[in-house]
Amino acid sequence: MSQKTSAPISRRQFITGAAAAVASVTIAPGVFLMRPADAGTAEGVRWGLLIDSNRCGDCNACVTACHEENGVRGMDRPRTDAQWIRKVELRDPDTGHSHSLPVMCQHCEHPPCEDVCPTGASFRRADGIVLVNKHTCIGCRYCMLACPYKARSFIHETLTDQAAHAPRGKGTVESCTLCVHRIDRGERTTACVEACHDKGNGAMLFGDLNDPDSAISRELAEHGGTAIRADLGLNPGVRYQGI
């Protein structure tokens, strides 16, 4: 956040992702810091995740890391606490075999959340990341109803102690940002992927789905991968193996 400029970029451009080279950071409601970004929203890129359920262990490392990174703290109220990412346990009733996998915003190519949002606060950047504009979200929660993955949380109370790069505010909706702050900084990994790797499981891969040479694309080409609820035709940016 050191390279401040006063480039007169409209909020609209930010919202649509039309301003490919600019991302914005909010330091206080209504105050934007504008700065030139890296290849974050570059044309042709589509950021995504590949999750191998066979390697996904018993741990919660990705969840802890995400919530740590983005300042998502619970109030010990499971019904209303936000969860940007969660571990889902799957059990096959026929064989009794169980495995688990993390579920977060799937960064759909055709996001129902974006379709239903009345103000356009839910939006998809040119690089495929789906975000909520915290300045125009009115908190109607229609997107939460529309999301087939229950990926979103509503902020049910006043929050303190937020991470500067992940503004959160009572009365608005939020979800996984694919660590957009890191990507716009030029980093090429997310908090969850990093934690999974550090843990030694290596079940998660981050990368550019549109680049045939990226690790994620090569892995997908070699071993395949599916989307959750592929039947809905939303073409999510998060793919799974071993479901």
Partner 1 sequence: MTAKPQFRALDGRSGGYYGLLGILVVVIGLGLLAAVLKSAHGHYITGMDNQIVWGLPHVFAIFLIVAASGALNVASIASVFGRTIYKPLAPLSGLLAVALLVGGLAILVLDLGRPDRLVVAMTHYNFKSIFAWNIFLYTGFIAIVLVYLWFLMERRMNRYAPTTGMLAFVWRLILTTGTGAIFGFLVAREAYDAAILAPLFIAMSFAFGLAVFLLVTLAAYQWSERPLGDLILRRLKNLLGVFVAVVLYFVAVYHLTNLYATRLHGVETFLLLEGGIYPALFWVGQILLGSLLPLALLFHPVWSRARKVIATASALVILGGLAQLYVIIIGGQAYPLDMFPGFEVSSSFYDGVVVPYTPTLVEFLLGLGGVGLALFLVVVAIKFLHFLPVSLADHKVDPHHASRTDTVTASAET
**Contact between 167 and 76 (Cβ < 8 Å):** no
Tokens of 140: 């109607």
200 binds, among partner 1, ligand SF4, none (CB under 5 to 8 A by kind): none
- The H-or-E segment that residue 34 falls in is strand 31-36
Position among 65, 66, 82, 117 found at the interface with ligand SF4 (CB under 6 A): 117
Contacts of 93 by beta carbon, 8 Å cutoff, 6+ apart: none
Least Å from the CB of residue 234 to ligand SF4: 6
Identify the residue whose tokens are 């999301």. 147
Q: CA-to-CA distance for 187 and 166, rounded, in angstroms?
A: 16
Q: How far is the CB of 15 from ligand SF4 (least distance, A)?
A: 12
Look at strands 47-52 and 153-154 and give their pairing: unpaired
Choose, by CB under 8 A, the member of 59, 116, 126, 163 that binds partner 1: 116
How distant is the alpha carbon of residue 76 from its chain centre? Answer: 23
Asked if residue 127 lies in contact with residue 20, where contact means CB atoms within 8 angstroms, the answer is no
Which of ligand SF4, partner 1, none interacts with 79 (beta carbon under 5 to 8 A by kind)?
partner 1
Which of ligand SF4, partner 1, none sits in contact with 132, Cβ below 5 to 8 A by type? ligand SF4
* Span 131-160, contacts to partner 1 by CB under 8 A: 135-142, 144-150, 152-158
51-110 residues in contact with ligand SF4 (CB under 6 A) are 105-108
Residues that bind ligand SF4 in the complex, under the rule CB under 6 A:
105-108, 111-113, 116-119, 121-122, 130, 132, 137-143, 147, 149, 151-152, 173, 175
